[in-house]
Structure 1
């Protein structure tokens, strides 16, 4: 899921923000709702500029176009994305705020897996 969302970030911003100009804050995120994994696409827009039906329609258009892009992804490009995500998870925290954010996300999502990186096989040296 994280791999897909990471791969989706740039095309999501390009389609919904740059081309459709729906709002400045446009991003996909991973979700874990009561143990059910999923993702969401968030578009923060002005209610006076675009209604929710139009925004939803444009998000659906993006998802269709992204599905086509994902279907055309080469094995080499996929492996590059995997390597990038692994390297990101293996990086040490550059400041205490990163560790705090990671642990706070565990609290907010009520998952409390504070050693998630270790369990995923990404042990960080301190």
Structure 2
């Protein structure tokens, strides 16, 4: 069975430690691969600086990584279509080890809180 992954993170401002929010911000999530990174999805930020997407494991198993079991996830933050932050790559996320089953179904993966 292909498990659903719920990937989330929180963004706060460096200058005042308030949540990063607003309609001009968006976050894109990727799985790093040798040839071409897999685009996992994108989302806006809520009023609390939360960003989250839900994907199925098959989304990060591409032609250049068909046997991949543990994704190498990174994200980019955009403001008004300009990239303002790129995260480090979280290598080989052991989904079963870092996740909890969600009430909405699937596994929760929390990447943490980041100051932008």
Greater length-normalized contact order (CA 8 Å, ≥ 6 residues apart): 2
Greater C-alpha Rg: 1
Q: TM-score, normalised by structure 2?
A: 0.29
Structure with a larger share of its residues in helix: 1
TM-score (norm 1): 0.27
